[in-house]
Structure 1
Amino acid sequence: MSPRSPPRPGRAWAPADRYPQNGTPHPGCRRRFARQVTEAIERRGLSVRAGIEVEWVVADAAGSPSTVGPMYGMTRFVEHSDHLREVLRALTAQGLLVLQLHPEYAAGQFEVSVAAEGSVEAADTTMLVRHTIRAVSARHGLRVSYAPVVTEAARFLAAGAARNHPSPQAASAMSNVCAALPIDPGRRCR
């Protein structure tokens, strides 16, 4: 992924692998993990594309939800039209294809979905989207939370050509990826 600029003048952003001072790969580098999983899947003759959804909650300076409209309702769009328009423009200006931007279930909760890309690129895009939402929200006097008790980022995998009915090999590959995710086993890959 080439460097993309978050919506703050004078700043640029470029994802990178993590290395400690001794120069060895950091064991917690998520980009490295995504690359290794992708390579393992590709050795089975499959391909991986991941589309991300980022869910977030916006609150006012006091920490109270910044919307009063009903869940999934247009009232929330009206209440945050300038804010969400700027989020959409900033993401589009960074070369992302936004598929959907909508209000979610919890008070002040929104979700954005972007087009699928390779797994490492999707991981990078997740961070870019989060940084962008936080920067735009701050300009609107809003605080952002991605806390998992309130919201969760959903990762969708499409392995092979048959997305809704994966082959046994693709289902096995997705199962292995899901088993390796560092999340509560009860919430893995819905």
Structure 2
Amino acid sequence: MLEGNARFVSGAPRHPRQDVERRHELAGGQRPRAALFGCSDSRLAAEIIFDEGLGDLFVVRNAGQVISDSVIGSLEYAVEVLGVPLIVVLGHDACGAVRAAIDSTAVDAPALPPRIWRQVAPIVPAVRRVQSVDGTNAATVDPEHVGREHLRDTVTELLQSSELISAAVAAGTLAIVGVNYRLGEGTAIPDFIVGDASDAAA
């Protein structure tokens, strides 16, 4: 995946495994090399930024990469049924959901529509923690710092919420990598690893 991202960054993607033969090969089943849980941001199309093909990635996305029952169920399916050895959790800079969570902490912040608030509310603890440590507020807090903290929170919550996934990590059959994506450069930068990723797809 990192090699594919390097090709994407350099402007020389190969667009592998995207032909008719690959489509026919996969018609009978899938065996992805990794699962990716990331933000729904339209600038983060996983197969493009990692220069992957059909059947390579099992992708789960929502605004702000926020853990939910459907996300956990989808990732458990990838691990238990499809046998992926790696989960990549992908955050990025200039995230709209992170920005909304930050703005919601302002004293005079207008109320968000209920469903949008429920989506960004899990990011608020990271906002508050960064504000407390850095002595900042909604106007001055560093959104990239918040995004990195939220990425770590996301992985922690995934492990705490899924016995199946945490057991696979403990058994050495699964690794989780937290990755930060830089929109301007197109680079995907691994930030931390949980478990043994030596044999994983990244």
Name the TM-score, length of structure 1 as normaliser.
0.31
Name the TM-score, length of structure 2 as normaliser.
0.29
Please identify which structure carries the higher helix content: 2
Structure having greater relative contact order (Cα 8 Å, sep ≥ 6): 1
